């Protein structure tokens, strides 16, 4: 008998291994569900029995296990649903995910023997979700439109929204409208300013959108820039626009008051409401759910009504325009296939301009209406951009109906997550839990994407196609009587719609004529300065061409003195050395007062170069080599920094008191495991969806640092942040080598710790560089590249794509974690702000694109440029304070130019009041930190326009082509 | 193709070399005293940066008027970005420019990052707004001071004020940054009664919905609300509370306790009845009113926070520089900062560089009129 059992066990295992994927997933999912259930309710199961984890950590792991099991089970079920039900099931996934989360919470609370009461005020939630939906939609609709037609994510969309806000505020300060805005309360609403502000915000933002499209994106389109390049260029554009808004309107907040009566606390619609009380967990005699009367009616303020009506109205108009007019058909045709559209006589550039106008215009309108609700400052856009990305991904990128539904779902989620988190947080001794409300859209999105990898919009679209197909079939088969009666019934409506579409097309043609006229005028006016400019540039060019000649005369052996072909191995090295020396020269020229401060400055630059260089290597491995668009570099860097910090912080202050070396090894391992595991659920995701998942993970970690007491160490647990952790070799350094090094550098004092850190950073950077080069020139490197080029072909050749992707993710994550450890040591603390994507992920991406994708030498140059730019422009930022500082005179000159621009040039457009409201002190001074931001943005855009493949493009491993073919620059740039 | 590329490289070379010459050519020496100011000009609290800088300018103008002939004080402003890495780089640039001391930064994360640069360089730092307890234990080698008391004490004051106002079941609304959550946690641990709900929110505009927060206070059946917030978000929440029909008492901390808080409202009726605490100014001190008058005269930014602290930090550092001569500046700051009467209270540094504070004054808005009739001290309680 024992033999028999053994055999059957083996048999079961064999069967399990050979059974289809969905069955295996289902079994594993069920196992995880049961195990975590046992763990929660009976303190049994793997986690309960093992006793490895205690208290909070145990419950956390159990909840995650249960959620993962549930998702896996449902995913397996989904893959087996009938095709005709698939659409419906996919759309109901969001509900399923929410229900699952409630289930986990219920069991968790029951297991802990606690109860949570959640108050859902129905009207409050309904209206709050409409409000959030409108806010996100005003950015997301433009994002998705740009994505649909031009296939790239436009980061500048949020700034277009802000532009609309500031147009409204400027209009409010104008001589004509200020009396309306400033009028005392009189109980009568004056709509004039609000309507004018909405229209002008729409038009002006739209025009700015077109100008940006013409000056930046069109050039990149002509150079066949990839979507990634366009995206990073839009990041640069958004920095420039934001910086201009900062300089003109300062960082202070301003409100748009259309009429004081709009903003009174009594200017509201009273909406009757009821409370839905939900009791979860160990409830004593309380039902799961009950309705209770609300003490007050919910007040829906007029300004919010205006925003919701305005934004949803604009979106409906856009839908009409897309589906009913010629312009809309053209846009859809270009979205489907630009070449085919062009061949059938559609003017591509005009369609792109129209898209840019509409995207920016709707965002601007939303911005103007939002300014009536929130105090506006130029940072606001960044807060809304990431949730807007979540919205477009949830609704399937590029689907307009999808984005509307996505916005409503995310809005609803924002609104219900607050009461849920407050209720659960109070029950779980986590009063800080409500801080997570901000990332709930991301958490939810990740859950949904695991189940429906293409978002819910594609399901809607498929359903739509199905519907149209069916209708066609019915039309063909049956008589048309039924159809005719319905169309007769809808006669007046449809003729009205038809007339509307004719008007829109007429307006569009008229607009095209006007724009054509304007373009011609500008072109003829520009002709003269343009001629001068071309002469000047010719002179500069001839001057530059002398340099290589001089070099060769000095005996520098250049076989081909003019041509440095950066896409060959040798040329790439030469270019690398040239750029590197150039950057080193700048470092040496940066001013500093004493030898000590100069040493510290250089050491800091080297340390940052090491950190950013390692992060760039990681990104390059993921994105440049393997082709997975990773927008969560900071997630892996953060894992490294947080783990190192927590493990090596003192035990008495919530840390673990480890040796920093051990902590680093563990951190690198944890990050590698996280990277490996990430590959499984995300393998099916398309490029952009993977990007959103990774950026969401980064945000989740950042908010956890803010709101989760377990991630606090170094002082009391009420203090956010990790500090007081020990750093490697710190005591060894201070007891000897620092003195020696100090003498060596001629400092007369001990060399500070940052010098040692710089040495560590350089060693890590070079070691990883050599390691990566070895790995990438091995067969495995070629497999990774083949996955990037064509996953299907690579799979066809017998490679296990999933394994290779997982290995690539793990290796990259480990490198990023090392960067994180160095970063934690340099900063001496880990604070949530350190993970802000604007200062980390986006900068690393900029370095990666500027340096040159898939070229590790380029990564070093890119990282170096990003680090140096910060230091160089900082010198300018501080220069106003003292006449003795470099650039001081230049600052004064810049101030006068800026003042002239704002007062004399801008004064034609805006009123004096709009200047004195901002520059209350009388002097119109330029804000230098924001000028720095604008310059960084310009560097990014400029570098991409100059060379869209980066400063050091990838060196192709294929044999050299005959030189005669590679003479057409466009052809070569387009060669992906 | 090749020609075009190499020309571009050449162009880049040329322009950067020219920049480099500019950098070197402009350097010259001056005997003026430079004081660095780290201000969060970009990042999540950028909206408060103009206030800090305006307060800084008021201080420097006054100093230059007092010390005319002896010293010329210059304020060198760097951008902390409210982030450790950027603040440390900015601190490095300030030190490279030759500042004697750095005032800042505002965000606690930025401050700890900057300490790691300033302390090894021997440049003392005085923060005007970092309240995190993590700074007490920071590895600063005695170089770090701050003129804001830590949150713990104010939380005790707030519990007494709330009890005196008859609150039995208060809602606690706090920002999820280090200031707000420190205050919120300490209030919860000192409050003996029940807390009806405790809600954290991110004070960046566009990440919280004030009416939803207000509704959750009302739905919880709370009889009063504590606001651990800054001025702009505090005003938004108070307006929402008023518009949702909340009738209970609202109690705030030092972010709201200022007559200028009124400028953050569009409908000023919502501010009526607010009770708020703030550090107590020195006995019979004119420093506060002098500063406020000068700040208003200089056209300082509206809705600002921690302006008095910024002003004090700069004047204290300047006084220490004057008294130090060629001696140790760190020692001079320590000795200047004993019973230093400033606009934001009387400051006395302890061994860790923290100020003990002299208690709090309890202010209130009646209609739109602002007054501070009561005080709270550690020993005496509420009076």
Give me the interface pTM, i.e. the ipTM.
0.87
Task: Report in angstroms the alpha-carbon separations of B188 from A69, A720, A906, B181, B216.
Answer: 37, 16, 52, 10, 18
The dihedral region occupied by B284, where left means phi > 0, alpha psi between -120 and 50, and beta the remainder, is left
State pLDDT tens for residues A57-109.
888 888 888 888 888 888 888 878 777 777 777 778 888 888 888 888 888 88
Res. A509: pLDDT tops 70: yes
Element (H, E) at B295: helix B287-297
Higher pLDDT residue, A86 or A342?
A342
Res. A487: pLDDT tops 50: no
**Phi, psi for residue B201 in degrees, rounded to 5:** -150, 155
Residue B142 confidence (pLDDT): 87
Most trustworthy range by pLDDT among A662-671, A916-925, A931-940, B49-58: A662-671
Res. A440: pLDDT tops 80: yes
Res. A971: pLDDT tops 50: no
- Mean pLDDT over B127-149 rounds to 85
Looking at the fold, whether B243 and B374 belong to one and the same domain comes out as yes
State the average pLDDT for chain A: 85
Selecting from B5, B77, B137 the residue whose C-beta is nearest the C-beta of A564 gives B5
Selecting from B32, B120, B243 the residue whose C-beta is nearest the C-beta of A299 gives B243
Residue A962 confidence (pLDDT): 58
Whether residue B175 contacts residue B185, with contact meaning beta carbons closer than 8 Å, is answered with no
Closest-CA residue of A relative to B114 is A827
- Mean pLDDT over B135-160 rounds to 84
Selecting from A431, A562, A597 the residue whose C-beta is nearest the C-beta of B198 gives A431
- Mean pLDDT over A842-853 rounds to 88
Eight-class DSSP state of A254: B
- Residues from chain B that touch A304, judged by Cβ atoms under 8 A, are 211
Could you tell me how many CB contacts below 8 A there are between chain A and chain B? 396
State pLDDT tens for residues B357-382.
778 889 899 988 888 888 888 888 88
Higher pLDDT residue, A253 or A206?
A206
Specify if B2 maps to a domain.
Answer: no
Specify if B7 maps to a domain.
Answer: no
If contacts are CB pairs under 8 Å, which of residues 288-317 in chain B contact chain A? 298-303
Whether residue B273 contacts residue B223, with contact meaning beta carbons closer than 8 Å, is answered with no
Closest Cα of chain B to A45: distance in Å?
Answer: 34
Percent of chain A with pLDDT over 90: 27
Q: Does B190 touch chain A (CB under 8 A)?
A: no
Rg over alpha carbons for chain B, rounded to the nearest Å, is 23
State the average pLDDT for chain B: 84
Residue A551 confidence (pLDDT): 56
Q: Does B263 touch chain A (CB under 8 A)?
A: no
The number of beta carbons lying within 10 Å of the beta carbon of residue B381 is: 13
- Mean pLDDT over B133-141 rounds to 81
Contact B132 A597 (CB under 8 A): no
Residue A560 confidence (pLDDT): 46
Specify if B5 maps to a domain.
Answer: no
Task: Report in angstroms the alpha-carbon separations of A176 from A171, A173, A188, A251, A544.
Answer: 9, 8, 19, 26, 54
Residue A25 confidence (pLDDT): 84
Looking at the fold, whether B252 and B377 belong to one and the same domain comes out as yes
Looking at the fold, whether B135 and B184 belong to one and the same domain comes out as no
Specify if B11 maps to a domain.
Answer: no
Contact B209 A251 (CB under 8 A): no
Closest-CA residue of B relative to A272 is B244
Residue B88 confidence (pLDDT): 94
Specify if B97 maps to a domain.
Answer: yes
Res. B203: pLDDT tops 50: yes
Looking at the fold, whether B161 and B261 belong to one and the same domain comes out as yes
- Confidence class for position A976, pLDDT limits 50, 70, 90: very low
Closest-CA residue of A relative to B245 is A296
Most trustworthy range by pLDDT among A272-281, A606-615, B26-35: A606-615
Helix %, strand %, coil % for chain B, to 5? 45, 20, 35
Residue A563 confidence (pLDDT): 56
Selecting from B8, B90, B181 the residue whose C-beta is nearest the C-beta of A720 gives B181
Looking at the fold, whether B146 and B156 belong to one and the same domain comes out as no
Specify if B135 maps to a domain.
Answer: yes
Please give the model's pTM, rounded to 2 decimal places: 0.87
Looking at the fold, whether B272 and B367 belong to one and the same domain comes out as yes
- Residues from chain A that touch B299, judged by Cβ atoms under 8 A, are 920-922
- Mean pLDDT over B251-272 rounds to 84
Res. B22: pLDDT tops 50: no
Res. A346: pLDDT tops 60: yes
- Residues from chain A that touch B266, judged by Cβ atoms under 8 A, are 255, 257, 260, 263
- Confidence class for position B24, pLDDT limits 50, 70, 90: very low
- Residues from chain B that touch A128, judged by Cβ atoms under 8 A, are 209, 211-212
Q: Does B205 touch chain A (CB under 8 A)?
A: yes
Q: Does B116 touch chain A (CB under 8 A)?
A: yes
Looking at the fold, whether B253 and B113 belong to one and the same domain comes out as no
Task: State how far Cα A865 lies from the chain centre.
Answer: 22
* Residue to substitute from B54, B93, B294, interface A, most A β-carbons within 10 A: B93
Residue A491 confidence (pLDDT): 59
Q: Does B33 touch chain A (CB under 8 A)?
A: no
- Confidence class for position B10, pLDDT limits 50, 70, 90: low
Selecting from B27, B92, B243 the residue whose C-beta is nearest the C-beta of A268 gives B243
Looking at the fold, whether B69 and B44 belong to one and the same domain comes out as yes
- Mean pLDDT over B78-106 rounds to 91
Looking at the fold, whether B155 and B145 belong to one and the same domain comes out as no
- Mean pLDDT over A207-235 rounds to 88
Quote the tokens at residue A842: 């986006």
Closest Cα of chain B to A541: distance in Å?
Answer: 6
Contact A721 B46 (CB under 8 A): no
Task: Report in angstroms the alpha-carbon separations of B254 from A742, B106, B258, B315.
Answer: 46, 15, 8, 21
Contact A881 B74 (CB under 8 A): yes
The number of beta carbons lying within 10 Å of the beta carbon of residue A551 is: 13
Res. A601: pLDDT tops 90: yes
Count of domains observed in chain B: 2
- Tell me the C-alpha distance between A227 and B213, whole Å: 40
Closest Cα of chain B to A179: distance in Å?
Answer: 15
- Mean pLDDT over B185-212 rounds to 86
Contact B89 A921 (CB under 8 A): no
Element (H, E) at A573: helix A569-589
Q: Does B16 touch chain A (CB under 8 A)?
A: yes
Higher pLDDT residue, B240 or A484?
B240
Any idea of the CA torsion for B277, B280, B285, B291, to the nearest 10 degrees?
A: -50
B353 Cβ contact list (under 8 Å, min separation 6): B136, B140, B142, B144, B145, B146
- Mean pLDDT over A9-32 rounds to 84
Looking at the fold, whether B111 and B233 belong to one and the same domain comes out as no
Range of the domain at B229: 151-278+360-382
Looking at the fold, whether B247 and B366 belong to one and the same domain comes out as yes
- Tell me the C-alpha distance between A595 and A606, whole Å: 16
Residue B289 confidence (pLDDT): 83
Residue B19 confidence (pLDDT): 53
Q: What is the CATH number of the domain that holds B121?
A: 3.40.50.2300
| Ordered DSSP codes for A511-528 | HHHHHHHHHHHHHHHHHH
Residue B375 confidence (pLDDT): 87
* Residue to substitute from B3, B4, B7, interface A, most A β-carbons within 10 A: B7
Closest-CA residue of B relative to A158 is B206
Residue B267 confidence (pLDDT): 81
Task: Report in angstroms the alpha-carbon separations of A729 from A734, A747, B30, B113, B137.
Answer: 9, 21, 40, 20, 21
Most trustworthy range by pLDDT among A936-940, B48-52, B75-79, B287-291: B75-79
Selecting from B10, B215, B270 the residue whose C-beta is nearest the C-beta of A298 gives B215
Specify if B354 maps to a domain.
Answer: no
Looking at the fold, whether B248 and B366 belong to one and the same domain comes out as yes
Contact B121 A889 (CB under 8 A): no
Res. A557: pLDDT tops 80: no
């Amino acid at each position: 008998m024992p033999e028999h059992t053994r055999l059957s066990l083996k048999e079961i295992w064999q069967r399990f291994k050979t059974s289809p994927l969905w069955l295996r997933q289902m079994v594993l999912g069920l196992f995880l569900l049961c195990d975590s259930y046992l763990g929660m309710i009976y303190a049994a199961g793997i986690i309960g029995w093992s006793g490895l984890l205690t208290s909070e950590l145990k419950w956390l792991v159990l909840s995650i296990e249960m959620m993962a099991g549930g998702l896996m089970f449902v995913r397996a079920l989904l893959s087996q649903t009938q095709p005709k039900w698939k659409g419906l099931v996919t759309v109901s996934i969001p509900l399923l995910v929410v229900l699952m989360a409630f289930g986990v919470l219920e069991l968790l609370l029951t297991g802990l023997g606690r109860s949570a009461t959640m108050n859902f005020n129905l009207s409050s939630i309904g209206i709050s979700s409409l409000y959030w939906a409108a806010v996100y939609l005003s950015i997301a609709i433009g994002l998705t439109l740009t994505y649909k037609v031009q296939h790239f994510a436009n980061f500048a969309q949020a700034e277009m929204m802000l532009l609309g806000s500031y147009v409204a505020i400027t209009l409010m300060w104008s001589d004509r409208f200020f009396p309306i805005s400033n009028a005392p309360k009189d109980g009568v609403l004056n709509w004039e300013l609000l309507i004018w502000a909405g229209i002008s915000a729409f038009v002006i933002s739209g025009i700015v959108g077109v100008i940006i499209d013409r000056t930046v994106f069109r050039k990149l389109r002509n150079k066949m820039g990839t979507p990634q390049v366009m995206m990073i260029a839009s990041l640069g554009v958004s920095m420039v626009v934001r910086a201009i808004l900062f300089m003109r309107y300062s960082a202070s907040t301003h409100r748009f008051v259309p009429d004081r009566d709009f903003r009174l606390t009594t200017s509201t619609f009273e909406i009757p409401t009821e409370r839905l009380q939900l009791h979860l967990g160990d409830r004593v005699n309380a039902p799961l759910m009950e309705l209770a009367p609300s003490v007050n009616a919910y007040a829906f303020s007029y300004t919010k009504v205006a925003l919701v009506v305005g934004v949803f109205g604009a979106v409906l108009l856009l839908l009409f325009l897309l589906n009913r007019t010629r312009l809309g058909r053209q846009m859809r045709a270009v979205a489907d296939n630009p070449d085919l559209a062009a061949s059938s006589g559609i003017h591509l550039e005009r369609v792109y301009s129209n898209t840019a106008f509409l995207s920016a215009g709707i965002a601007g309108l939303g911005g103007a209406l939002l300014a009536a609700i929130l105090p506006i400052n130029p940072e606001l856009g960044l807060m809304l951009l990431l949730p807007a990305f979540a919205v477009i991904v949830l609704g399937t990128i590029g689907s307009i109906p999808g984005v509307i539904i996505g916005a409503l779902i995310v809005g609803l989620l924002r609104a219900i997550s607050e009461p849920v988190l407050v209720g659960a947080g109070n029950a779980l001794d986590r009063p800080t839990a409500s801080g997570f409300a901000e990332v709930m859209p991301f958490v939810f999105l990740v859950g949904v994407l695991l189940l429906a990898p293409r978002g819910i919009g594609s399901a809607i679209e498929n359903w739509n196609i199905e519907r149209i197909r069916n209708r066609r079939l019915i039309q063909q088969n049956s008589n048309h009587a039924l159809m005719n009666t319905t169309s007769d019934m809808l006669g007046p409506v449809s003729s009205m719609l038809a007339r509307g579409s004719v008007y829109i097309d007429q307006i569009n043609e008229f607009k095209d004529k006007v724009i054509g006229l304007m373009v011609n005028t500008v072109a003829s006016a520009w002709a003269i300065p343009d001629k001068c400019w071309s002469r000047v540039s010719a002179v500069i060019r001839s001057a530059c061409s002398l340099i290589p000649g001089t070099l060769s005369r000095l005996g520098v052996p250049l076989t081909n003195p003019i041509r440095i072909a950066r896409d060959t191995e040798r040329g790439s090295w030469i270019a690398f050395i040239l750029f590197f020396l150039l950057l080193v020269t700048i470092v040496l020229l940066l001013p500093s007062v004493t030898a000590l401060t100069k040493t510290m400055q250089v050491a800091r630059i080297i340390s940052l170069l090491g950190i950013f260089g390692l992060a760039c290597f990681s990104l390059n491995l993921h994105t440049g080599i393997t082709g997975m668009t990773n927008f969560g570099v900071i997630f892996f860097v953060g894992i490294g920094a947080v783990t190192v910090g927590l493990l090596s912080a003192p035990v008495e202050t919530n840390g673990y008191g480890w040796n920093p070396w051990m902590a680093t090894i563990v951190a690198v391992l944890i990050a590698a495991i996280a990277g490996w595991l990430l590959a499984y659920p995300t393998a099916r995701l398309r490029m952009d969806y993977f990007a959103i998942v990774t950026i969401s993970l980064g945000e989740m970690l950042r908010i956890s640092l803010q709101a989760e007491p377990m991630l606090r160490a170094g002082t009391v647990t009420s203090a956010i942040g990790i500090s007081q952790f020990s750093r490697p070799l710190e005591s060894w350094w201070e007891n000897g080598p620092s003195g020696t090094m100090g003498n060596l550098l001629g400092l007369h004092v001990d060399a500070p710790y940052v010098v040692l850190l710089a040495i560590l950073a350089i060693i890590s950077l070079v070691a990883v560089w050599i390691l990566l080069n070895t790995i990438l020139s091995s067969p495995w490197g070629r497999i990774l590249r083949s996955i990037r080029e064509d996953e299907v072909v690579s799979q066809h050749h017998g490679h296990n794509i999933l394994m290779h992707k997982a290995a690539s993710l793990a290796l990259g994550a480990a490198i990023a974690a090392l960067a994180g450890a160095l970063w934690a040591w340099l900063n001496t603390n880990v604070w949530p702000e350190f993970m802000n994507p604007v200062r980390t992920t986006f900068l690393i991406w900029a370095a990666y694109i500027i340096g040159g994708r898939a070229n590790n030498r380029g990564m070093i140059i890119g990282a170096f440029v990003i680090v140096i730019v910060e230091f160089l422009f900082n010198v300018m930022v501080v220069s106003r304070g003292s006449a003795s500082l470099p650039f001081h005179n230049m600052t004064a000159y810049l101030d006068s130019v800026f003042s002239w621009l704002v007062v004399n040039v801008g004064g034609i457009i805006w009123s004096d009041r709009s200047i004195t409201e901002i520059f209350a002190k009388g002097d119109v001074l330029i804000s230098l930190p924001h000028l720095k931001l604008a310059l960084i943005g310009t560097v990014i855009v400029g570098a991409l326009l100059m060379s869209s493949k980066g400063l050091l493009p990838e060196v192709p491993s294929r044999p050299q082509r005959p030189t005669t073919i590679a003479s057409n620059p466009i052809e070569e740039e387009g060669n992906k | 193709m090749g020609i075009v590329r190499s020309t571009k490289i050449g162009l880049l070379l040329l322009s950067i070399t020219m920049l480099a010459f500019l950098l070197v050519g402009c350097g010259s020496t001056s005997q003026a005293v430079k004081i660095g100011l780290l201000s969060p000009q970009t990042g999540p609290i950028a909206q408060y940066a103009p206030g800090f800088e305006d307060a800084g300018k008021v201080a420097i103008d006054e100093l230059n008027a007092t010390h005319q002939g002896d010293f010329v004080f210059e304020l060198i402003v760097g951008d902390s970005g409210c982030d450790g890495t950027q603040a440390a780089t900015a601190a490095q640039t300030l030190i490279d420019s030759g500042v004697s001391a750095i005032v800042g930064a505002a965000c606690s994360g930025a401050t700890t990052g900057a300490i790691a640069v300033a302390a090894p360089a021997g440049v003392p730092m005085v923060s005007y707004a970092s309240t995190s307890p993590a700074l007490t234990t920071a590895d600063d080698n005695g170089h770090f001071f701050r003129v804001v008391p830590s949150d713990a004490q104010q939380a005790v004051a707030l519990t007494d004020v709330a009890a005196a106002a008859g609150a039995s079941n208060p809602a606690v609304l706090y920002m999820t940054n280090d200031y707000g959550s420190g205050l919120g946690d300490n209030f919860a641990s000192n409050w003996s009664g029940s807390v009806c709900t405790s809600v954290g929110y991110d004070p960046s505009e566009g990440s919280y919905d004030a009416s939803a927060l207000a509704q959750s206070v009302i739905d919880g059946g709370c009889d009063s609300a504590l606001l651990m917030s800054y001025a702009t978000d505090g005003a938004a929440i108070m307006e929402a509370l008023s518009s949702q029909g909340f009738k209970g008492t609202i109690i705030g901390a030092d972010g709201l306790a200022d007559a200028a808080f009124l400028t953050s409202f569009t409908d000023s009726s919502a501010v009526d009845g607010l009770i708020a605490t703030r550090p107590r100014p020195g006995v019979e001190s004119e420093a506060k009113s002098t500063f406020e008058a000068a700040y208003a005269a200089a056209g300082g930014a509206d809705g600002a926070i921690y302006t008095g602290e910024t002003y004090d930090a700069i004047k204290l550092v300047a006084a220490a520089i004057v008294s130090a001569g060629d001696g140790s500046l760190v020692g001079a700051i320590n000795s200047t900062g004993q019973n230093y009467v400033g606009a934001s209270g009387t400051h006395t540094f302890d061994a860790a560089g923290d100020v003990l504070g002299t208690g709090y004054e309890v202010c209130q808005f009646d209609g739109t009129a602002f007054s501070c009739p009561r005080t709270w001290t550690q020993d005496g309680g509420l009076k």
